[in-house]
Structure 1
Amino acid sequence: MTSASFAELDALSTEELRERAFARAREHRDIGFFWSVFKHLPDSDDAASLDGAPNSVGPTVDEAVALWRELTGHGYGEQEPLLRAAFIDYLQKA
């Protein structure tokens, strides 16, 4: 499988990038990626109380992101450029 170019990925919305990166990380059981994203979310301490089994880290991070967005009514805030870069970088790795 050929990875997408930077321009192709950069044209996607942040949410689409997140969905693709999370799907890949779940497939590869890449807990390190989820943790790096989670700790960069605004107010991640509020979402840290989510409880999940170690084998369900993908859904737990998805739920943390959704919870934060629901509670604040915001996108990714000032962290969006950093998160977009992380998602694009992750998706470009073969």
Structure 2
Amino acid sequence: MTSASFAELDALETEQLRERAFAKAREQRDVSFFWSVFKHLPDSDEASALDGAPNSVGPTIDEAVALWRELTGHHYGEQEPLLRAAFIDYLQR
């Protein structure tokens, strides 16, 4: 499977990038990727209070991001460029 080019990934919306990166990280059980993204989300201190078993980190992270987006009007705010870059970088590895 060939990875998408930077231009192809950069043309996607941030939410599409997130979905693809999260799917890849769940498949690879890459907790460190989720943690790195989680640390850059606004209000990550409140979101980190969510409790979940280690084997359910994908759904827990998805739920935390969904909750955060719902509470903040569905925007990534000032962190969007950083998160887009992280998603694209991860998808190209």
Kindly state the Cα deviation for residue 73 of structure 1 after the two structures are TM-superposed. 1.4
What SS does the corresponding residue of 1:66 show, helix, strand or coil? Answer: helix
Alpha-carbon distance between aligned partners in 2 of 1:6 and 1:72, rounded to the nearest angstrom: 28
Q: Which runs of 4+ in 1 moved over 3 A?
A: none
2:66 equivalent in structure 1: 66
What SS does the corresponding residue of 1:69 show, helix, strand or coil? Answer: helix
- The CA RMSD over aligned residues, in Å, is 0.7
Whichever residue aligns with residue 19 of structure 1, its letter is E
Whichever residue aligns with residue 45 of structure 2, its letter is D
Q: How many aligned positions are there?
A: 93
Kindly state the Cα deviation for residue 74 of structure 1 after the two structures are TM-superposed. 3.8
Whichever residue aligns with residue 52 of structure 2, its letter is G
Whichever residue aligns with residue 64 of structure 2, its letter is A
| Residue identity (%) | 87
1:13 equivalent in structure 2: 13
**What is the CA deviation profile of residues 22-45 of structure 1, one whole-angstrom value per residue up to 9, with x for unaligned ones?**
000000000000000000001111
Alpha-carbon distance between aligned partners in 2 of 1:79 and 1:10, rounded to the nearest angstrom: 16
Kindly state the Cα deviation for residue 46 of structure 1 after the two structures are TM-superposed. 1.3
Alpha-carbon distance between aligned partners in 1 of 2:59 and 2:75, rounded to the nearest angstrom: 19
Alpha-carbon distance between aligned partners in 1 of 2:77 and 2:46, rounded to the nearest angstrom: 15
Whichever residue aligns with residue 87 of structure 1, its letter is F
Using the size of structure 1 for normalisation, the TM-score is 0.96
Structure 1 residues without counterparts, runs of 5 or longer: none
Using the size of structure 2 for normalisation, the TM-score is 0.97
